Each structure stands twice: as structure tokens, then as C-alpha cells.
Amino acid sequence: MKIEKCIKESFVVIGKEGSTLDGEGFIQRLWADANSHFEEVHALAKKDVTGNIVGIWGVMSDFSHMFKPWEGFTKGLYLAGVECRDDAEAPNGWTKWIVPSYEYIYTECEEDDVFPKVIKYLEDNSIPLAGAVHDFTCPQTGKNYMFFPIKKL
């Protein structure tokens, strides 16, 4: 597992919000909802210089919407969506989150047990988790990553 580091300035995600209180499989239901209505937010998506969408995000937060880690890593909020322009407004039925600037470590999700392995890496290296972990899918490659905030900027 290759762990890399980056800084990501504050960014906007517009998506479908749910919580662990919604029951088993809620994340899959959020993605199904977001994907089946994607045309409603497509024009708001941030694009690179060649016109490609820059990111698909599964953003997580504690129940206070303060982007703290999930309670016991098992209870919190999830937003399944797309990175959008800063001035974008969420259409009816969608939710806009503004994710703060962080320094992250991140890794490609090549295996199912990435989360516990990176949490152990953080513990072994005395690196505190500074916020909730986020899922990222690169639209150009289809590869999935997990972003672990280690310092709020």
C-alpha cells in the first residue's frame, strides 16, 4: 500500500446526504440516488482544462457537520456527490457541503481493508487524524482513494 501526502484547499461537494441512522446499505442507496439524478448537477461540476469532471466524492462528517471523524468510526454523516464550482448552489433535493482545507495522506483502495491499515499507520507514526475520512473516485481513471486529513489548514 502506497501512502502519499497532499494539500487540498477548501472545496465544494454537492450530493445526496444521509447518515448511519438511515440503516444498513445507506451509502449504496445515496450513490444510487445521486447517480440516477446526476444530470441535475452535471452543469455545476468543477471541470479541468480539458472539460473533465475533477472529482467524485463520498465526504464524511460527524453529526455536527464539523467534519470531525465519525463517532467510533461507525456513526456519522455521508454525502455522495461531485466536486462543484465554489459558487454553485445545490438544486432542490441536493445538499452542498464546503469541505475545509486540510493536509491529507491518501492511498488507492486496492484492497478492502485500506481504512484499518491506514488508521494503524497513523497510530504507529503518532499522526493524529484531524477530521473525517473521505472517499474519492478519479473520473478519468475510475480508481478509488481514501483521503485521511492529518492537519487542518
The C-alpha cell at 41 is 448537477
Q: What is the pLDDT of residues 104-146, one digit of tens each?
A: 999 999 888 899 999 999 999 999 999 999 999 999 999 999 9
- What's the predicted TM-score (pTM) here? 0.94
Domain chopping of the chain, boundaries: 4-152
- Render pLDDT for 69-90 as a digit per residue (tens, 0 to 9): 999 989 999 999 999 999 999 9
- Fold classification of 4-152 is Multidrug-efflux Transporter 1 Regulator Bmrr; Chain A (3.20.80)
Cα 102 vs. chain centroid, distance in angstroms?
Answer: 12
Q: Is 145 helix (H, G, I), strand (E, B) or coil?
A: strand
**By three-state DSSP, how is residue 118 classified?**
helix
Give the single-character DSSP code of 68: P
